[in-house]
């Protein structure tokens, strides 16, 4: 084997030993680099005659090309190997079950509100929405609870700036302000009829929403939900309240033998007033009286604040707690669970 053949062979061997691209580049430098062995051979031709240069140069070139070919082949082999390793590392098992994005769903209290709205809508009630930042007037005064009325102390709340006749200044303590708010709009709409001494369509509405009080324990949250209901007409009585509310409760709890009790109570905006208790006949809560709402015949002063004549218009109102209804329906015993945002709890209602 001549000198050039063995040079090619040693290049091939060295390239074959290179396991990383950096090894290979080092090996390349030994042959093709500035002071590599091929370059040295080229330099060594300086003394040769023109004829000798020709044949020697051609021979060196052949050797150089063989080394370059070996280098290219090894480069390609190393790149292929690296790709294989990478593919192996990133291998996907397409037979694995996919990871789903959580579907999400409605909060249990939202489910209850939807249910309440559906049931009352089926009984001909409108659904109205009111502001959570309310004025002293709608929250208290218009509801027959003037300043200094002792009933205000049971509704301690969060006050904000403002508090003039028109500027809302507190977080509403109940949804009852919607009684007068909604009625005033309704009366405005039918004022022409009333002015002509005719009758207006009845007011029949529920108003669900968030309410606020300075209260916090296992059964009270500073933010909670209420749903107000009101029905005002020329001939609406306590009997209608009993029928409507009994129907509602039996439908809501899907229990025909549910018993209701109207227990005399006091609210400034109703006279007479009653707390509504329910009693299940079966199930874990059977036999216990459970308070679910306040109610009563709307006080004449409140009817007057609606812009109506209390001698002609009469009706009833009620206010219930959707949080409590949700707890009873699903057997939840701590109100705070609804507002902690724990997905393990909330996902049970989907």
Query: Interface with ligand DAH by CB under 6 A: which residues?
Result: 174, 176, 228, 267, 270, 294-296, 317-319
Residue 25 has which token pair?
């580049």
CB closer to ligand DAH out of 157 and 176: 176
CB closer to ligand DAH out of 289 and 345: 289
> Shortest approach of ligand DAH to residue 143 CB, angstroms?
8
CB closer to ligand DAH out of 108 and 294: 294
In angstroms, the CA 126 to CA 121 distance is: 6
CB closer to ligand DAH out of 175 and 326: 175
CB closer to ligand DAH out of 15 and 318: 318
CA atoms within 13 A on the CB side of 249: 25
Beta bridge partner(s), residue 209: 226
Buried b (16+ CB within 10 A) or exposed e, 31-63: bbeeebbbeebeeeeeeeeeeeeeebeeebeeb
> Shortest approach of ligand DAH to residue 319 CB, angstroms?
3
> Shortest approach of ligand DAH to residue 343 CB, angstroms?
31
> Shortest approach of ligand DAH to residue 135 CB, angstroms?
16
> Shortest approach of ligand DAH to residue 263 CB, angstroms?
12
Q: How far is CA 267 from the centre of its chain?
A: 36
Nearest of 186, 210, 211, 209 to residue 199 by alpha carbon: 186
Answer whether 294's CB lies under 8 Å from 318's CB. yes
In angstroms, the CA 281 to CA 19 distance is: 82
């Amino acid at each position: 084997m001549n000198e050039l053949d063995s040079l090619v062979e040693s290049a091939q061997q060295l390239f074959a030993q290179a396991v990383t691209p950096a090894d290979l580049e080092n090996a390349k430098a030994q042959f093709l680099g500035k002071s590599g062995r091929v370059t040295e051979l080229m330099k060594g031709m300086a003394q040769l005659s023109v004829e000798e240069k020709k044949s020697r140069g051609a021979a060196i070139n052949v050797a150089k090309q063989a080394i370059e070919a070996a280098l290219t082949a090894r480069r390609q082999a190393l790149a292929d190997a690296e790709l294989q390793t990478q593919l192996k590392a990133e291998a996907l098992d397409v037979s694995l079950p996919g990871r789903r994005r959580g579907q999400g769903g409605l909060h249990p209290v939202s489910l209850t509100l939807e249910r309440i709205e559906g049931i009352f809508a089926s009984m001909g009630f409108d659904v109205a929405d009111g502001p959570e930042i309310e004025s002293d007037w709608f929250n208290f005064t218009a509801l027959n609870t003037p300043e200094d009325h002792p009933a205000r102390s049971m509704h301690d709340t969060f006050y904000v700036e403002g508090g003039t006749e028109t500027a809302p200044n507190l977080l509403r303590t109940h949804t009852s302000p919607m009684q007068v708010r909604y009625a005033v709009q309704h009366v405005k709409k039918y004022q022409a009829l009333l002015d002509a001494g005719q009758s207006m369509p009845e007011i029949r509405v529920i108003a669900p929403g968030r309410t606020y009080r300075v209260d916090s324990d296992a059964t009270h949250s500073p933010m909670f939900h209420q749903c107000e209901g009101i029905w005002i007409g020329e001939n609406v009585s306590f009997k209608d309240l009993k029928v409507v509310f009994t129907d509602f409760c039996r439908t809501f709890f899907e229990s025909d033998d549910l018993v209701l009790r109207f227990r005399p109570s006091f609210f400034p905006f109703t006279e007479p007033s009653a707390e509504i208790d329910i009693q299940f006949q079966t199930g874990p809560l059977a036999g216990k009286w459970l308070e679910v709402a306040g109610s009563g015949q709307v006080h004449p002063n409140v009817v007057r604040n609606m812009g109506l004549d209390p001698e002609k218009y009469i009706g009833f109102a009620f206010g219930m707690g959707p949080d409590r209804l949700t707890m009873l329906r699903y057997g939840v015993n701590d109100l705070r669970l609804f507002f902690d945002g724990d997905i393990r709890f909330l996902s049970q209602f989907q």
